[in-house]
Amino acid sequence: MAELYDNIPMEVEDLLKDIKSGKLGLPDLQRPFVWKDNKVRDLLDSMLKGFPIGYIMIWSAPEDYENVKQIGLNEKNYKRSEDLVIDGQQRLTSLIASMYGIKVKDKRFKERRIRIVYNPLEAKFEVWSNRYEKDPLWINDISKLFEADDRHEATKFRREFIKRLNEYKVSKEEPKLTDDEEITIEENLNALLDLKDYSLPVLKIRQKADEEDVADIFKRVNSGGQNLNENNFIETLLSVYDNDVHDKIMKFCTESRIPLDGTSFNNIIDVDPSHLIRIAMGYGFNRARMRYGYKILRGKNLKTGETSEETRKENLEIFKNALDLVMDVNNWHAYLNLFPNAGYIRGNLVSSSYVVIYGYVWYLMGKYQYHVGPLELRKVITKFIFMSLVRQYYGLAPESSVERNFADLRDVKDAQGFVDYFNKEVELNFTEDFFTKTLPDDLHS
């Protein structure tokens, strides 16, 4: 069997240069950065001590995409990423953010800096706080040293650091640094700069590998047996191959968390990119299982099993049109306003994000595909929301339950049939036995 990947050690500096130039696609620069800053500190400390920090996995970008745009940083030499980072995104984001001052997004999609400080006398890292800002024993942001090195001014940086520290010592009536201490500072600053030469084992998966091969390789080499899910693939492809769509998704997600009129902000759900992808896939292709999403965007015809460039373009257009309806703020708020009507005024009262996600799919299908009247649509979807949350309708196997809904709706041909179907689902779950036995027992327990 032919090899699906190559093992190519690469130095940190080369990887980060490729990210900054756009040659290597790093979608995590656009996504919320989930690591705590102390984990970034520990990563740098492990590297300084020569400890291994794991594999980086990249995937040669498929050639069947023509309209490829840039992601990540502003100034790029490559309009098309040659490779995509599949595993190691958080580590590489940590390094480029802490060593070069690149901003990341927090869980609320706000940009922020990761500042790591360094004591060159002790070769010690810490997370920045006010106590280190003017402490002469510490470099208050390691990116300053790397910036100085890029300007070929590392020697000047070292001399100024030693000068400031000696001035501080004199002001405190303490002895100046000894020759040995100055040598230690120089050695430890050089050791910090040498992190650019740290060699990382890189698995480069070849272009011919499909998503199942990549997922299998990922799971086998990942020490925790972690799975690479479909969202990883879809978000990575969107961020690299249709950045306009990806930017719109990220903007919608960001604004859902910031109180501002005329945006996606709401009190029910903090929107994640995977939510929007699920809704668009559901509305556009009547699919709930995300494993189909990647295949669809790669140009697979789910009926024939064949993959083609023509189908890829058609599928992407369907996805983008669906996404336009999904992210229309008038549709969005008209739907979310049904939750207070159902008795849910805050997101912490909503027990299942699947109800929010797929309730919106049903709302859009009722409005645009079945042309249900506005009043009737609001009434039936509100009842369905209430029932779904009370009965945990999408509790145990949400994707299977939604696939059943889609299968049932294939036989529904008109507005009345749509309304009757969802009213029937409510009736089947809100039985007399539920109100007289199940609900009282649940409340009692």
**Tokens coding 384:** 């369905």
Q: What is the 3-state secondary structure (H, E, C) of 411-436?
A: CCCCHHHHHHHHHHHHHHHCCHHHHH
What's the predicted TM-score (pTM) here? Answer: 0.73
Question: C-alpha distances in angstroms, 15 versus 60, 85, 161, 263?
Answer: 14, 10, 29, 37
Closest C-alpha to 250, from 71, 95, 21, 114:
71
Asked if 290 and 230 touch (Cβ cutoff 8 Å), the reply is yes
Residues 321, 326, 330, 336, Cα dihedral to 10°: 170
Asked if 370 and 415 touch (Cβ cutoff 8 Å), the reply is yes
Asked if 434 and 440 touch (Cβ cutoff 8 Å), the reply is no
pLDDT digit of tens for each residue in the chain (445 aa)?
468 888 999 999 999 999 998 888 886 656 678 899 999 999 999 999 999 999 898 988 655 544 333 334 445 555 567 888 888 889 999 999 999 999 998 877 788 999 999 999 999 999 999 999 999 999 999 999 999 999 999 999 999 999 999 999 999 999 999 999 999 999 999 999 999 999 999 999 887 777 667 767 766 666 454 555 667 667 766 765 576 787 789 889 989 998 999 999 999 999 998 899 999 999 999 999 987 887 887 788 888 888 888 898 899 899 999 999 999 999 999 999 999 999 999 999 999 999 999 999 999 999 999 999 999 999 999 999 999 999 999 998 999 999 999 999 999 999 999 999 999 999 999 999 998 988 888 888 7
| Rounded Cα–Cα distance for residues 128 and 7 (Å) | 36
Closest C-alpha to 129, from 118, 139, 117:
117
Asked if 69 and 242 touch (Cβ cutoff 8 Å), the reply is yes
Asked if 117 and 133 touch (Cβ cutoff 8 Å), the reply is no
